[in-house]
Copies of this chain bind each other. A is one copy, B any other.
Amino acid sequence: MSPETSALPGTVRPRGRTERVRQAVTDATRTLLLEQGYRELSVERVAEVAGVAKSTVYRRWRDTAGLLLELMTELSTGEIPLVDTGSVEEDLLSLARGIAHVYTETNAGPMVLALIAESVQNERVADGLREFWHHRNDRAAESVRRAIERGDLPADTDPVEVIRMLGAPFYYRMLVTHEPLDDDLARRAAATALAAARAGDLRKR
C-alpha cells in the first residue's frame, strides 16, 4: 500500500527557504487585508505581493481561509492586557476598554472581521475561531473568579459567561449595526455584565 497521506508541505523542512516563504506570505496577507480589505484578498494577489509562485501558496494554505487562519497566530500573541486591581468593577472596565482599544487602534479589527465573515461559510475557520475565543475568554474570566472568591459575586456565577456577556455588545456593533466602538460602549458593556452577575442572572446552569 502507498502512504495514505503524505506530510503537508512546510512540515518536513520547516527552516530556511520554507520559513522565508511563510514569512513573506503572511506579511503579504496582512498587508493586503489591512490596505485593500478582506474583499480584495485573493491567493493570487498574496502570491504576487509575497514574490512567491501561486502554486506554492495553494499547496501550503489551500485558499484564503487558510491564509486567514495563519494570521490568527498573530492575534493570539497580541493579547488584551489583563489587570488585577482588586475590584471586579475596575477589572472588567479595564477589559472592556482593552477590547475597544484593540479593535479600533490595532490591526485586530479588520482581521477579526474577516475571520468571522469567513467562519460563516467555512467550518475550518469557525473551529479555529471557537478555540481561540475559548482560550481568550477563559483567561479573562480570571478576574471574575477572584471576585467570586472574595465574595463580591454569587458563588455559583459562571465566570466565562460574564466575560461573554461583556464581549457580546462589541461584536454586535462591529457586525450587526456597524457602529464605532467608543468608551461609552465599553462602560456600558462592563457595567451590564457586572449588573447581571450581581443580580445572579449568570449562574452556572
Contacts and interface: CB of A to CB of B under 8 A. Distances in A.
A161 interface: yes
B178 A168 contact: no
B178 A165 contact: no
A103 interface: no
How many copies make up the complex?
A: 2
Q: Describe A's contact surface by its main secondary structure.
A: helix
Contacts of A175: 116, 119-120, 171, 175
Given A191-B201, A196-B195, A171 B176 contact: yes
Nearest to A37: B121
A205 interface: yes
B176 A129 contact: yes
Given A167-B172, A168-B171, A175-B116, A196 B202 contact: no
Given A165-B169, A168-B171, A199-B195, A120 B113 contact: yes
Contact of A195 (B169, B184, B195): B195
Interface residues of A, number: 41
A67 to B, nearest CB: 16
A192 B199 CA distance: 8
A117 interface: yes
A89 to B, nearest CB: 11
A147 to B, nearest CB: 16
A43 interface: no
A192 B176 contact: no
Given A165-B169, A171-B175, A188-B202, 13 more contacts: A38-B121, A113-B120, A119-B178, A134-B177, A161-B188, A164-B169, A171-B172, A171-B176, A172-B172, A184-B205, A188-B196, A192-B195, A192-B202
